[in-house]
Amino acid sequence: MKESHTLIFAETEEEPSGRARYQRQITILFGLLTNLYGRDKLIQKAKDYNALQLMRTGQPAQRLLALQRLAFEDESLGELPSEKDFPQILAEIEETIADLLARRAVEGQLEERVALKVQEQHERYLEDIKMQILKKETGVENAATLKKYAVLEKMEQVGLSVSAREVLRPRHLGELVGQAQALEALLTKIASPFPQHVILYGPPGVGKTTAARLSLAEAQKRRYTPFRQGAPFVEVDGTTLRWDPREITNPLLGSVHDPIYQGARRDFAEGGVPEPKLGLVSDAHGGVLFIDEIGEIDPMLQGKLLKVLEDKRVTFDSSYYDPDDPRVPKYIKKLFKEGAPADFILIGATTRSPEEINPAIRSRCAEVFFSPLTTGDIRKIVREAAERLGVRITRPAVELISASTIEARQAVNVLADAYGLTLQQRWEKGKSHVIGINQARRVLQMRRLSPLTAKASPRPEVGRAFGLGVNRFLGLVLEVEAAAFPALEEGQGRIRFNDTAGSMAKDSVFNAAAVIRRISGEEIGNYDLHVNVIGGAQVDGPSAGAVIFLALYSAIKNRALRQDVAVSGEISIQGRVKEVGGIPEKIYGARQAGMKKIILPRENKDHIPPDNGGVEVVLVDTVEEILEHVWAEEE
């Protein structure tokens, strides 16, 4: 290196010690520049900045000026520095050259790292090319995957016959028994140019799910509906849908699989790209989403479902998503930007009462009420199911099954079990396949079912009356009994009532006592009165007032009441019979219990269904009118 210096820089004569020191410093700095740029590049640089002649002189000031022009890259520097400024100028040049050397060192390291990275990418690229060639030639299959595929193909060759439920399920709306009014209401809401979201209310096993599926099939046949052929019917049970506050999974609405924790596709995971997964609301796009037991969905999830119903789209969000990332595919960008289509009709089914359903969901849905099935409906269902199975069933067997259940699904399952039992017994004895009462009774015993006993009786009784109540969508008969005894002390009588019936029923007892005193003149205080609701039934509403009045009045007057008459109505202390709710369900319960006559408030006239199954319905305004229809003497 010293030899190269001699070719560029002229040697100087011996100078005083101070100038010699400056010369040495200047020479060293020129050497650093030569190392930094190289000899040829430095000469070219000196020419560009008009510093070549200054470098070759022996004068320190001229050489220092050349060094300034090269270090600072400034040709305009023309004034020769004075010797007193040498130290400061040398210090500035040293600092500038030090920065240049440091920068060159860093750039050298970066160049090495870049070269290494380029080499790695090149090797990976070659590896990917090799794998693509291998896949193209041999595919993704190997011995293990091909073996599993062969096992699946073999399994496809084996199959059992369809299940009994598939055979016995109604295939068109005409086969759905006992729900003509509900089906008409459902079709007017679904098979329309402007279909509505619907909630189906009713007890279990009356055909709500089947009605929803068949209604969509019927709507597709009509040109004026928006449903296309092949419109999806997506069915899910609300009890299986749970709200995940972490948003990791949401089968109903869809979720985003992030590239780190949830196992997005490998190519997405390696690039840090989140992958949206569509949910059931998108699967149902253009069709029907049926949610059974919709009232069991988590409230938070219900709120999000309402948002989807309003927007008709599902939106996705992820902290991993970068819209400017070129590695994100188009469809993922579209999902994050616009969301996924979710334009469907919601049909929810529930066994709860309307008051128990989210008011926000109810406000967006039309409501259809399915009726409990009567004994006659169950008979028809059992006979038609037997025809589908291709088996004969005796009338006593039909009567026994229909008397033991009010659910179509349960009745059909009993029939299927009886059919299987018949096959087993007849096969052993070589007889024809006929389901008789013995097979039906045996299956009912195995299922722990017994005939529903009717409470109506032809024998009159004193102090025993029948009222009507509602449990969800099922009407039931309340049996109320009363006893009256002379008080131990005149005017000091007491009223006792079972607390399990509820506070509202207890209020009805005191109202009834006041009415009895008003219409009969009897001093209630002269009696110890005992009132009991058989079975400890809970009376939620005031409709038990009329039946409690009858039981107490019969006990005090010692007059026998008819046991085939049921009554429902709230009574005021003035003896008026006021409107009550649940009239269709109460009439159904009375029919099931074998009642011949039902006494209801006149204010409920418009609530009485057209078909009462042969039960006489009497409308009254006062308790005096009730008394005209309940005594045994009129028979």
Reading phi first (left if > 0) and then psi (alpha if -120 to 50, else beta), residue 392 is in: beta
222-225 own/partner pairs: CB under 8 Å, 24+ apart: 222/191, 224/192, 224/193, 225/190, 225/191, 225/192, 225/193, 225/195
Q: 596: which 2 tokens?
A: 């011949």
Burial 503-523 (b: 16+ CB within 10 A, else e): ebbbebbebbbbbbeeeeebe
Q: How far is CA 353 from CA 143, 283, 370, in A?
A: 58, 29, 12
Q: Which fold is adopted by the domain 378-446?
A: Helicase, Ruva Protein; domain 3 (1.10.8)
Please give the CATH number for the structural domain made up of 179-369.
3.40.50.300
Please give the Cα distance from 560 to 465 (Å, whole number). Answer: 10
Q: Is 586 a catalytic residue?
A: yes
Into which CATH architecture does domain 457-634 fall? 2-Layer Sandwich (3.30)
How far, in Å, CA of 165 to CA of 417, rounded? 11
Q: What is the pLDDT of residue 452?
A: 67
**Which residue in the list 371, 402, 508, 543 is annotated as catalytic?**
543
For residue 588, the Cα-to-chain-centroid distance in whole angstroms is: 33
Domain segments of the chain: what residues?
Answer: 1-159, 179-369, 378-446, 457-634
Catalytic residue among 586, 596, 597, 605: 586
- DSSP lists the bridge partners of residue 464 as 481
The residue ranges of the chain whose pLDDT is under 70 are 1-18, 131-142, 159-165, 247, 259-271, 426-432, 452-454, 498-506, 535-541, 633-635
Active site residue 82: no
| Token output for 474 | 């099922």
pLDDT digits (tens, 9 = 90+) for 587-617: 888 888 889 999 999 999 988 887 777 789 9
Each residue of 493-507: pLDDT tens digit? 888 876 665 556 667
Phi, psi of 417 (to 5 degrees): -65, -40
For residues 349 and 290, is the Cβ–Cβ distance under 8 A?
yes
- In the chain, the N- to C-terminal Cα span, in Å, equals 138
Q: How far apart are CA 196 and CA 199, in angstroms?
A: 10
